[in-house]
C-alpha cells in the first residue's frame, strides 16, 4: 500500500471539498439574506458538537495523521475560529500542512507504531497502515460528512458531487 497516495491527495481533496461547502454556505446566506453566523450554531443533535468543532476536528485528524505517519510532532493549533472565513482559513492551513508532506516521509510507515492520545484514557496504538485505514481516514470522513449533513439540513444547495468533489 502506498501510504502517501492514500493520505495526501485524499485528505487534500476532502479538505478542499469542505472549503467549497463552506463557501457555498456563505453564498447561500448572502443570497437568502440572513447572517451566515447562523451556521456556526448548527448541530445534528443536542449532544453533538457544533459545526465549527466538526471542521476543527477534521483539520486535527488530517494534520495529525500526516504528522504521525511522517514521524513529525503534531502541530497544535488553537480552536478559536468564530467565523466562516476563519474556518476556511483553518482548512487552508491544514491543506498547506498536508500537501507539504513528501512521499519519502510517509511511505514506509506502514509498520511504524502510531499512538493517539486520548483524554483521561490510555492512548490508542496502531501500526501505521491500520491507523490510516481504521482510524484516521474514517475519522476525517465522519467529521466531513457531519459538516456536509449540517449544511444540507440548513438548506445549503449541495449535492453528491459536491461531497465527492468535481
> Which pLDDT does position 56 carry in this prediction?
98
> Which pLDDT does position 166 carry in this prediction?
79
Q: 119 pLDDT band (50/70/90 cuts)?
A: confident
Domain boundaries along the sequence of the chain? 3-30+51-164
Q: Judge contact between 129 and 3, C-beta under 8 A.
A: yes
Q: Judge contact between 37 and 83, C-beta under 8 A.
A: yes
Indicate the pTM of the whole model. 0.95
Q: Give, in order, the Cα–Cα distances in Å from 74 to each of 57, 62, 160.
A: 13, 10, 32
pLDDT tops 90 at residue 1:
no
More confident residue, 30 or 120: 30
Bin 120: left if φ > 0, else alpha if -120 < ψ < 50, else beta: left
> Cell numbers of 33, please?
439574506
Q: What is the pLDDT of residues 67-104, one digit of tens each?
A: 999 999 999 999 999 999 999 999 999 999 999 999 99
Q: According to the CATH classification, is domain 3-30+51-164 in 3.30.70.890?
A: no
Helix (H) or strand (E) segment spanning residue 118? strand 113-118
> Cell numbers of 101, please?
508532506
pLDDT tops 90 at residue 129:
yes
- Mean pLDDT over 127-156 rounds to 97
> Which pLDDT does position 120 carry in this prediction?
86
pLDDT tops 80 at residue 117:
yes
More confident residue, 153 or 119: 153
Amino acid at each position: 500500500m502506498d501510504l502517501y497516495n492514500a493520505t495526501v491527495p485524499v485528505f487534500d481533496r476532502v479538505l478542499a471539498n469542505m472549503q467549497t461547502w463552506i463557501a457555498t454556505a456563505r453564498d447561500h446566506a448572502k443570497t437568502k439574506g440572513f447572517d451566515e453566523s447562523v451556521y456556526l450554531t448548527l448541530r445534528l443533535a443536542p449532544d453533538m458538537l457544533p459545526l465549527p468543532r466538526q471542521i476543527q476536528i477534521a483539520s486535527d485528524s488530517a494534520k495529525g495523521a500526516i504528522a504521525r505517519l511522517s514521524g513529525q510532532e503534531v502541530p497544535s493549533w488553537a480552536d478559536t475560529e468564530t467565523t466562516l472565513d476563519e474556518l476556511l482559513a483553518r482548512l487552508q492551513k491544514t491543506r498547506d500542512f498536508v500537501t507539504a508532506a513528501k512521499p519519502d516521509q510517509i511511505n514506509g510507515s506502514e509498520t511504524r507504531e502510531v499512538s493517539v492520545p486520548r483524554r483521561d484514557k490510555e492512548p490508542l496504538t496502531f501500526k501505521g497502515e491500520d491507523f490510516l485505514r481504521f482510524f484516521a481516514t474514517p475519522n476525517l470522513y465522519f467529521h466531513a460528512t457531519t459538516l456536509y449533513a449540517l449544511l444540507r439540513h440548513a438548506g445549503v444547495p449541495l449535492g453528491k458531487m459536491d461531497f465527492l468533489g468535481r
